[in-house]
Chains A and B, each alone.
Chain A
Amino acid sequence: GNSVTQMEGPVTLSEEAFLTINCTYTATGYPSLFWYVQYPGEGLQLLLKATKADDKGSNKGFEATYRKETTSFHLEKGSVQVSDSAVYFCALTWNSGGYQKVTFGTGTKLQVIP
């Protein structure tokens, strides 16, 4: 079945460091890919998305490119801030029999220290 594999955390970086959180997927058909962020004490929020191969999603300095050849959707940011500390989830959605389906990665906790 469809699945998402996400790098395990926690990831600890100094402020202004470069961030990469790896995400690879297994899927049939044409899924959409997402990154969600969960800040401490808050609900999940959509960070960015890509709905077809070679699409690049971007938001708040974060980027991820939907790469079908490597089945990946790695999250990157050039210079992280303390306020980026959160848990990041990679997710995949697809349509099955007329119903939306979704699967999430296990989440990667990011801690940015001043």
Chain B
Amino acid sequence: GAVVSQHPSRVICKSGTSVKIECRSLDFQATTMFWYRQFPKKSLMLMATSNEGSKATYEQGVEKDKFLINHASLTLSTLTVTSAHPEDSSFYICSAWRTRDEQFFGPGTRLTVL
């Protein structure tokens, strides 16, 4: 099967610091990865599309300077939450597209900003 990992699974940081979350496709190459945010008891909100070799595309309302995305290779995308604040606390999920209709999800990263 297709496996997508995320690291770390949980992170607690102080307000004002930056946090990097990694998303890796372990057994396939993904030119496209998505980053989502999931609020408690709510659905997934697509934040941005990470494209290998080019700039990420951000959804409306998502600050690109706050949520930095780097798609360094065909198996790795990173999301950096810069100058994190308590309102950034959330569950962040990545997905990797193996084909046009096959999207595989990472297990998610719980970010808590104190």
Contacts and interface: CB of A to CB of B under 8 A. Distances in A.
Interface string B29-57: 00010100000001110100101000001
A106 B38 CA distance: 10
Interface residues on B, range: 20 to 34
B101 A32 contact: yes
A58 interface: no
A51 B101 contact: yes
Interface of B: 4, 32, 34, 42-44, 46, 49, 51, 57, 93, 95, 97, 100-108
Interface residues of A, number: 22
Contacts of A35: none
Nearest to A106: B43
A104 B49 contact: no
10 closest A-B pairs by CB: A43-B107, A44-B105, A106-B43, A104-B43, A43-B105, A104-B44, A32-B101, A107-B43, A43-B108, A51-B101
Interface string A39-60: 0001111100101000000000
Contact of A46 (B32, B46, B57, B104): B104
Contacts of B4: 43
A49 B105 contact: no
B105 A102 contact: no
Residue of A43, A51, A107 most packed against chain B (CB within 10 A)? A43
A89 B95 CA distance: 15
A70 interface: no
Contact of A100 (B43, B97, B105): B97
B43 A46 contact: no
Contacts of B51: 99
Contacts of B44: 44, 89, 104
A44 B44 CA distance: 10
